Amino acid sequence: MTCFLTLFILIFGSHSFCLAQSDLTAKKVLILHSFGYAQPAYKIIDASLQGAFIASGLDFNNLYFEFMDLARNPGLEYRKDLIDVYRQKFKERKIDLIVALHTEALQFLLDDARDVFPGVPVISVLGTHRFEHSDPQRPVVILPFSIDTVATANAIMALKPDTRKLILVAGSSTLDRRFEGLVKTELQAWPAKPEVESISDLPLHEILSRVAKLPPGTALLYTTVYADSTGKTFMPSDVARMICATANAPVFGLFETLLGDNGIVGGIILDHRVEGQRAVRIAMNILQGDLPKEPITILPAPLTPMFDWQQLRRWGFDESALPTGSIVLNRPVSVWDQYKFVILGVLIFILLESILLTVLFLERRRKNIAERALRESEERLDLATASAGAGIWIMNMGAGSVWVTDKLRELFGFAPDEELKFDRFMEVIHPEDHESVRQNVKQSLERREPINVEYRILHPGGDIRWIVSRGHLYSDAPGRPKRLMGVSSDVTQRKQTELQLSESRTLLAALVDSTSDMIWSVDSERFGLLTFNRGLSEYFLNQRGIRIEVGMDPGVLLPTEEYAEKWRTFYRRALEEGSFTTEYPVYTGTRTLLLNLNRLERDGIVFGVSVFGKDITERKQSEEALRESEEKYRSLYESMMDGYVLVDMDGRILKFNESYREMTGYAGNELPGLTYRDITPEKWHASEQEIVEKQVLVRGYSDVYEKEYRAKDGTVFPIELRSFLLKDEAGNHAGMWAIVRDISGRKQIESEARKLREDLAHVTRVSTLGELTSSLAHEINQPLAAILSNAQAAQRFLSQDQPDMKEIGEILGDIIRDDNRAAEVIRKIRSLLKKEETRYESLSLNDVVEEILNVIRNDTAIAALSIEKEFDTGLPAVWGDRIQLQQVILNLVLNAAESMWDAGPGSHRLTVVTSKRDGLFAEVSIRDNGPGIDAKVAGRLFEPFYTTKSGGMGMGLAISRDIIKSHRGEIRAVNNPDRGAAFIFTVPFDNGVNA
């Protein structure tokens, strides 16, 4: 920010500096926002406007910020009130210029508030050129809001060249649709290959689940979601955050406010800071009196490629593929990244120190050796000095010739037998150092001081070396220098290290100040501040309102003596132990610091303590929250009645609760060695594997399904479970967990209930058939009567003189047919009377209905009805028990018949309809034209023992309901619109998997 402002001043500042300071400080600018303070863009723009205005010389107190909040307060009355407020507020303060954010504010100024700020120029930021300029006397400059979808799409392709599909995510509000429409239109002009798809019509939760499993080669382009397709409203940045967190593909966007915490990778974006600065630049021109010539000036925005560093790294994007001029935000703040230079610096420092020590040591030794060697022999001296890396030279002041050792020749790159003079040395010395070497030597000679000079030489190898030369002047007589004698050694490495260190120190200082962590040091006596970084001073300024200074001690810095003493204890401990780390809750208890204290020593003398403090409140809170939630879940699953088990992706049991262990009968240490397949009977393996592959791995969880476990003692028992997929932070499959319920008890009860139901159904069936005795008797008597009459007629025909054998043959045929008829009737009745276990099979429902209607059609009550059948002949087969379904139809038909007869004689009509329902069910409707169902009894119809009939047991409908329920169908009763009632039940189609 600071550097941005500097840049701004450098580039744009010239105008403002031309103005007299006094003119500017009196200028008043109103910054009028259309909407509420919470608009994310406003925060950035306001900061930019404020910074740039002040930098241009305006007085902070003359900037007025107003938030009209028009979106939440539509309506004329509100705007009238606003005008009154502004009129009051700015009566004594003449505004020179207005910056209006969003078009609504502009329109407000031009229409409603025309007379409040008459003629004041307006700069409309984030505006549109679609507005009505109803106040042409007033100059208006528009900085329109704009997006560049095509440039963003090209950036996506550059970063992610394998993109085959670009998915648009937007919301369903008018604004959302308008933006998306704009984006779509722009994309039509995009010549690149990827397919573009919009998933904006989905509800948000579906969008989220959709973006979580996109195929590779997909990128997302997010515009806005103010409301999703269900009409639920959102903040677009919140939705962006959700989508970025969920999506398995990179998300790009067109708004700056989506960057950063909201997680988009980036895009070619309107930079609000730049817009703010543009506005100020124009504003300054206007305030100088340079008014726009036209009533409306439109200045389109230059868009900036902006990307988020973290997101680029998350998706492995190459920064070099970014468009030129890209701004990369949010460079990382990891410990290594943040302190890389500190660590390097320290290492370099240690290295340098050891080198210096070595050099010093060597030089000292070399000096001794040289003196001794001179006294003893030049050869030995040469050998010794050469082995130490130093060359010796002796210059004869009179002749100007120089004697050197072989080592020195090597250092300077002279030929072995070359004759040397002083000038020859000057030839190899770096031209830039000529002067300093000359001066130095000259000075030494004049003052008769030892020579000590550092300089660069150009080595014949082409590289530059640093040489240090030290020497003494020897005289035969006072004032008459005879020889200059000395040693030279190569210090290139040391010089380089020094340069690097100095560079590192500069960087270190910058970094120490740029971190929000706190770094400081105190002296070892009274623990007064020695040094501190900006992090610490800002902390004290913001939290405590104290401007800290060097020398302040804990007694001054901390609010209570108790806390001051605490800090003294910390410092003392650091002095004793050298270094330690601790967590420290600050005085107010609201924040936690992680402190790292180090004893500071120089030359073996302890002089203070350095402290590094990092605010880890958020981390602590999330750790605490995590621990709490883990505990909560642990206690929850431990106390659950149902079993809980966690397995890895190979099915090996990792964790389980006590209920699970108890259920399986294993000891706690035996289970972790097993897989869930080990304790599941073989016959379930295939079907369970399918559930895992098709449900758990696909959508993260399974339906509730039933299977069996084999306990340790070999008992097989039924269980019911639902499995869930566990993912780690990176989204990889980490395991599966399941809630498992032992349903032996329920199965037992279910089976008993089924038996009871069967018994009851049988009893009611028998009793219903009992009621039908006369009808059934008729059904059998009919063929019997025919048989008897036929037989007797035949007898007579036979006793005639010439019996008609053809007639007799026909008679016998009829007899056989009638006999079969009687047998069939008996078979059907017996099947209804028989007590059978429920037997499900694939059935034609039409046949089932037809058959039972035939059995009962001769009942007196039924026979006198007119029965209409409307069968759907295309009805698929249903899955059910023939006898039970017939019992239901029997009950319903008899009920209908009885209710009609009870209501008196008349033309009674019964309609039996079969049809399809919802594609999954067949429906049977039995409709009468009787009195209908009394509203008072409607709710109780299906209750057991509830009857409106004098002789009824009240079980018919209750049994019918149970039967239909066990078929997974439904039964209900309704009154027809005209007259009478209808009883309707459904039975599922045979879907082929019921068995």
Partner 1 sequence: MKDTKPVVFIVDDDASVRRSLERLMQSVGLAAKSFASAALFLESGCGEETGCLVLDVRMPELSGLELQEKMARANILLPVIFISGHGTVPISVRAMKAGALDFLQKPFDEQDLLEAVYRAIDRCRQDQAQRKDLMELEARIRTLTPKEQEVFAWVIAGVPNKIIADRLDTAEKTIKVHRASIMKKMGAQSVADLVRMAEKAGIRPSPTQ
Tell me: does residue 779 bind partner 1 (CB under 8 A): yes
Tell me: does residue 901 bind partner 1 (CB under 8 A): no
Tokens representing 632 are 């909560």
Between 123 and 794, whose beta carbon lies closer to partner 1? 794
Q: Within positions 120 to 179, which residues make up the interface with partner 1, using CB under 8 A?
A: none
Which amino acid, 150?
Answer: V
Q: At what angle do helices 845-856 and 773-799 cross, to 10 degrees?
A: 70
Which amino acid, 617?
Answer: T
CB of 789 to partner 1, least distance (A): 4
For residue 715, the number of C-alpha atoms closer than 13 Å in the C-beta half-sphere is 11
What per-residue string of b and e applies to 412-445 under the rule 16 or more CB within 10 Å gives b? Answer: bebeeeeebeeeebeebbbeebeeebeebbeebe
Q: Which of residues 71, 360, 509, 788 is near partner 1 by CB under 8 A?
A: 788
Tell me: does residue 842 bind partner 1 (CB under 8 A): no
Tell me: does residue 903 bind partner 1 (CB under 8 A): no
Q: Which of residues 814, 850, 851, 872 is near partner 1 by CB under 8 A?
A: 814
What span, in angstroms and rounded, lies between the C-alpha atoms of 250 and 237? 16
CB of 837 to partner 1, least distance (A): 33
Tell me: does residue 860 bind partner 1 (CB under 8 A): yes
Strand partners, 601: 606
Q: Which of residues 514, 774, 854, 991 is near partner 1 by CB under 8 A?
A: 774
Tell me: does residue 782 bind partner 1 (CB under 8 A): yes
Between 864 and 937, whose beta carbon lies closer to partner 1? 864
* Torsion angle (degrees, nearest 10) of CA 869, 873, 874, 875: 50
CB of 909 to partner 1, least distance (A): 12
Which amino acid, 183?
Answer: V
Between 55 and 784, whose beta carbon lies closer to partner 1? 784
Task: Give the distance from CA 241 to its chain's centroid.
Answer: 6
- State the Cα angle at 975 between 973 and 976, rounded to 5°: 120
Tell me: does residue 11 bind partner 1 (CB under 8 A): no
Task: Give the distance from CA 524 to its chain's centroid.
Answer: 49
Q: Which of residues 7, 71, 85, 777 is near partner 1 by CB under 8 A?
A: 777
SS3 for 124-151, per residue? EEEECCCCCCCCCCCCEEEEECCCCHHH
Tell me: does residue 792 bind partner 1 (CB under 8 A): yes
CB of 799 to partner 1, least distance (A): 9
Residues 6 or more apart whose CB falls under 8 angstroms from that of 490 comprise 389, 411, 465, 466, 467
Between 114 and 828, whose beta carbon lies closer to partner 1? 828
Tell me: does residue 753 bind partner 1 (CB under 8 A): no
For residue 428, the number of C-alpha atoms closer than 13 Å in the C-beta half-sphere is 23
Q: Within positions 675 to 704, which residues make up the interface with partner 1, using CB under 8 A?
A: none
Residues 6 or more apart whose CB falls under 8 angstroms from that of 359 comprise 489, 491, 494
CB of 792 to partner 1, least distance (A): 4
Fill in the DSSP letter of residue 870.
Answer: E
Tell me: does residue 208 bind partner 1 (CB under 8 A): no
CB of 794 to partner 1, least distance (A): 8
Question: Could you tell me which stretch among 305-313, 415-423, 770-778, 971-979 binds partner 1 (CB under 8 A)?
Answer: 770-778
Tell me: does residue 793 bind partner 1 (CB under 8 A): yes
Tell me: does residue 863 bind partner 1 (CB under 8 A): yes
CB of 717 to partner 1, least distance (A): 55
Tell me: does residue 789 bind partner 1 (CB under 8 A): yes
One DSSP character per residue, 151-193 reads HHHHHHHHH-TT--EEEEE--SSHHHHHHHHHHHHHHHT--S-
CB of 971 to partner 1, least distance (A): 29
Tell me: does residue 769 bind partner 1 (CB under 8 A): no
- 736 within 8 A of 723, measured Cβ to Cβ: yes
Q: Which of residues 46, 818, 898, 990 is near partner 1 by CB under 8 A?
A: 818
Q: Which of residues 705, 797, 840, 946 is near partner 1 by CB under 8 A?
A: 797
Tell me: does residue 780 bind partner 1 (CB under 8 A): yes
Binding residues with partner 1: total (CB under 8 A): 34
* Torsion angle (degrees, nearest 10) of CA 816, 819, 821, 822: 180
CB of 911 to partner 1, least distance (A): 16
Q: Which of residues 775, 884, 895, 947 is near partner 1 by CB under 8 A?
A: 775
CB of 831 to partner 1, least distance (A): 21
Question: Could you tell me which stretch among 541-549, 552-560, 806-814, 966-974 binds partner 1 (CB under 8 A)?
Answer: 806-814
Please count the residues of the chain.
Answer: 995
Tell me: does residue 817 bind partner 1 (CB under 8 A): yes
What span, in angstroms and rounded, lies between the C-alpha atoms of 269 and 255? 6
What span, in angstroms and rounded, lies between the C-alpha atoms of 986 and 61? 78
What span, in angstroms and rounded, lies between the C-alpha atoms of 511 and 533? 9
Query: To which H or E segment does residue 122 belong?
Result: strand 122-127
What span, in angstroms and rounded, lies between the C-alpha atoms of 547 and 538? 8
CB of 779 to partner 1, least distance (A): 7
Tell me: does residue 768 bind partner 1 (CB under 8 A): no
Between 304 and 775, whose beta carbon lies closer to partner 1? 775
Between 698 and 863, whose beta carbon lies closer to partner 1? 863
Q: Within positions 58 to 87, which residues make up the interface with partner 1, using CB under 8 A?
A: none
CB of 793 to partner 1, least distance (A): 4
Strand partners, 972: 984
Tally Cβ neighbours within 10 Å of residue 639: 10
Tell me: does residue 785 bind partner 1 (CB under 8 A): yes
CB of 854 to partner 1, least distance (A): 13
Name the CA radius of gyration of the chain, rounded: 49
Tell me: does residue 811 bind partner 1 (CB under 8 A): yes
Q: Which of residues 428, 649, 784, 903 is near partner 1 by CB under 8 A?
A: 784
CB of 690 to partner 1, least distance (A): 57
What per-residue string of b and e applies to 681-720 under the rule 16 or more CB within 10 Å gives b? Answer: eeebeeebeebbeebbeeebebeeeebbbbeeeeeebbbb
**Greatest CA span in the chain, whole angstroms?**
190
Between 862 and 878, whose beta carbon lies closer to partner 1? 862
Q: Which of residues 783, 930, 932, 969 is near partner 1 by CB under 8 A?
A: 783
What span, in angstroms and rounded, lies between the C-alpha atoms of 184 and 176? 12
Tokens representing 492 are 């290139």
CB of 809 to partner 1, least distance (A): 12
Question: Could you tell me which stretch among 174-182, 219-227, 692-700, 855-863 binds partner 1 (CB under 8 A)?
Answer: 855-863
Tell me: does residue 790 bind partner 1 (CB under 8 A): yes
CB of 944 to partner 1, least distance (A): 30
Q: Which of residues 787, 845, 883, 982 is near partner 1 by CB under 8 A?
A: 787
Between 669 and 802, whose beta carbon lies closer to partner 1? 802
Between 531 and 792, whose beta carbon lies closer to partner 1? 792
Strands of 643-647's sheet, edge to edge? 653-656, 643-647, 733-742, 716-727, 705-710
Q: At what angle do helices 744-771 and 805-833 cross, to 10 degrees?
A: 140
Q: Which of residues 230, 516, 543, 866 is near partner 1 by CB under 8 A?
A: 866
Tell me: does residue 796 bind partner 1 (CB under 8 A): yes
Q: Residues in the site for partner 1, rule: CB under 8 A?
A: 773-775, 777-790, 792-794, 796-797, 807, 811, 814, 817-818, 821, 858, 860, 863-866
